[in-house]
Amino acid sequence: MFYTTTRMGDYETMICLILVQVLLLTGGIAGGKVPAIIVFGDSSVDAGNNNQISTPLKSNFEPYGRDFFGGNATGRFSNGRIAPDFISEAFGIKPYIPAYLDPTYSIKDFATGVCFASAGTGYDNATADVLNVLPLWMEIEYFKDYQMKLRRYLGTSMANMRMNEALYLISIGTNDFLENYYIFSGRSSEFTIEKYKDYLIGIAESFVREIYYLGARKISLGGLPAMGCLPLERTINFLSGSDCNEEYNNVAMDFNGKLIVLRDKLGAELPGIMMVYSDVYNIMLEVIQNPSLHGFENVEEGCCATGMFEMGYLCTKWSPFTCTDANKFVFWDSFHPTEKMNSIMADHALNTSLSVFM
């Protein structure tokens, strides 16, 4: 019989080859040390989940996506790919990460990368209520559902290993300030700005602990961008010559400092966690201050429509003002970066905070 005539070394080799074949067939080998990218957050990383929910905040129409594969408007708030897509590609996994609620994808597609983000959401549940989008706790519920499907697909042991080794990208928080605190009186009457930052940090801590207990170990906690320099905020800041709103930028910097403290705290308390802070603020500000070094010509307006206040349904393909070459613009609409800027931010993260996972 085969088992009695084959040497043990040959038998072990045969088993290893079989396991490798199984892994390849199930998508079990990808991206070296990181086999999957799992994304939580807001419109900065939403791959199209808002397409499937009842909200006015959508981008599944032209000219969004005009530079994406096939010119498809997937629901990404950009003319093309967003930062997690470039990060996934850099890890050798796949060129873009699908949205979990997109019915055209299955668990086979999600096994190596999935996005739970929802445009317009924040750490604060009240922020999600503004435009009726997915609150952060619902993103976790979808993650739990995903885990059950992944275990059925790969088997419990392999699925748990996949989730332990995956890289978790978190990008959220801007809407809590610009869509919620500074617009509506609810939170601003309840909290000073300093207390509100601490309130959000408390939610961020609970969120990271939750996904840690669900198996996450490699985590990137994304900071806020230079949100006072977004075209919409420049437009609102017209009394100061449409310069960046330095108050908002200072809030972002201070909040980012608190995220770094949180990273250090959880890194010391949670065994086995590899948590990094990914800076968005400084790379965005550096590009805005030195646009020509990166091939940009416009840092003040978005490419779409007039670029001053339009996003979502106000970003229309019929606008005669929409630019022809988005690569010359830092921003696509009044709130979101172009594909080129997303690529620059992804490269910055890969060369700094995420390099420990390569």
What CATH number is associated with residue 134? 3.40.50
Full domain range(s) for residue 147? 32-234+246-289+339-357
| 77 in a structural domain | yes
The yes-or-no answer on residue 336 being catalytic is yes
Structural domain tally of the chain?
Answer: 1
Cα dist from 343 to 81, 152, 337, whole Å: 8, 35, 10
Q: For residue range 271-307, what is the model confidence (pLDDT) as tens digits?
A: 999 999 999 999 999 999 999 999 999 999 999 999 9
| 317 in a structural domain | no
* 3-state class (DSSP) for residue 48: coil
Q: Is the pLDDT of residue 68 over 70?
A: yes
∠ CA 97-66-61, rounded to 5°: 85
Residue from 334, 336, 343, 353 carrying the catalytic annotation: 336
Confidence of residue 32 (pLDDT cuts 50, 70, 90): low
Q: Is the pLDDT of residue 12 over 80?
A: no
Helical residues (DSSP H) of the chain, grouped into ranges: 2-5, 8-25, 83-90, 107-110, 125-130, 136-154, 156-165, 174-175, 185-190, 193-213, 231-236, 246-269, 281-289, 339-351
| 179 in a structural domain | yes
| 12 in a structural domain | no
Residue from 88, 176, 333, 334 carrying the catalytic annotation: 333
The yes-or-no answer on residue 333 being catalytic is yes
| 301 in a structural domain | no
The yes-or-no answer on residue 59 being catalytic is no
- Flag whether the pTM goes above 0.85: yes
| 115 in a structural domain | yes
Q: Are 68 and 85 in contact (CB under 8 A)?
A: no
Q: Is the pLDDT of residue 47 over 50?
A: yes
Q: For residue range 203-244, what is the model confidence (pLDDT) as tens digits?
A: 999 999 999 999 999 999 999 999 999 999 999 987 766 799
| 227 in a structural domain | yes
First to last CA, the chain: 45
| 323 in a structural domain | no
Q: Is the pLDDT of residue 24 over 60?
A: no
